Amino acid sequence: MSWRENLPQVRGKLLRDENLAPFTWFRVGGPAEVLFLPADPDDLSGFLGQLPTDVPVTVLGVGSNVIIRDGGVEGVVIRLAGKAFAEIIIDEDQIIADAGALDSAVSRAAAKAGLAGLEFYAGVPGTIGGALTMNAGCYGRETRDVLSSAWGFDRSGDVVTYALEDFGFTYRHSQAPADIIWMQAIFQGIAGDPVAITARMDDITRRREASQPIREKTGGSTFKNPEGHSAWTLVDEAGWRGKPYGGAMFSPQHSNFMINASEAMATDLEGLGETVRADVLARTGITLEWEIRRLGKPKA
């Protein structure tokens, strides 16, 4: 009997061969062998504790910074969705946010409470779980600038707790084990005027809307900025702004944002990215590193 026919009992939903494209901003990709939508953290912990350790586990948030390959994802894909994973609590000058809470919602909750410091999250597409995984940030601020601590589950379903210094954050990177499924984070705010805080958030939102293709099927910044360089400039100077590659292209509005311009496949998007990386390397000697995660296997 295969592991898919002997899954642990859960209170949430277990969906076999579920298409993952609708769960990503690019709207591409194949199915998960099993998609698990846990009812709450206890449901998730119990499932992990009983799932055979050789079954791969992948966590998917709102799919804002990911390409799911056309062949789909092996093992179990866990999606933290619903109120059980999206609560935001204000405790004096701290913001306690579940991993499934949208970054923008956390910034709004902090502003409403008169707590400054998290305004930059208004410009970060995604959830707190993803922010912890990649030290998400924009406009000069990052997750490490506001995080106090976080907790989650390891692959066995046991609780692990990390203080800020345990993450070893660097630019768009955390040294925490990749298999931790984050559940909740505590952020430190600074008392401020809600009107001024909201004004700063509005400015970030305006700048983002003016410079980024937020209404397209995109995945946020494609490449990390190399030391001393801007990724968008390197892509632009290589001539890839607005140049089609299958159904994909780098946005005419922002040349570090790939878009699904015309019924692209995941192979179009990843192929475009790899072609541009090779082109930039040949022209400049600079290696562009992916910021977008690529998950799964190519279509056979």
Q: Which residues are the active-site residues?
A: 172, 221, 291
Answer yes or no: are the C-beta atoms of 83 and 280 closer than 8 Å. no
Half-sphere exposure in the Cβ direction for 300 (13 Å, CA): 1
- Give the tokens for residue 112: 């409403």
Rounded to 5°, the CA angle 135-104-116 comes to 80
Q: Can you tell me the distance from the alpha carbon of 29 to that of 66, in angstroms, rounded to the nearest whole number?
A: 10
Helix, strand, coil % over all residues of the chain, rounded to 5: 30, 30, 40
Q: Quick one: DSSP state of residue 112?
A: H
DSSP string, 190-212: EE--HHHHHHHHHHHHHHHHHHS
The residue with tokens 């790939």 is 258
Q: Can you tell me the distance from the alpha carbon of 152 to that of 100, in angstroms, rounded to the nearest whole number?
A: 12
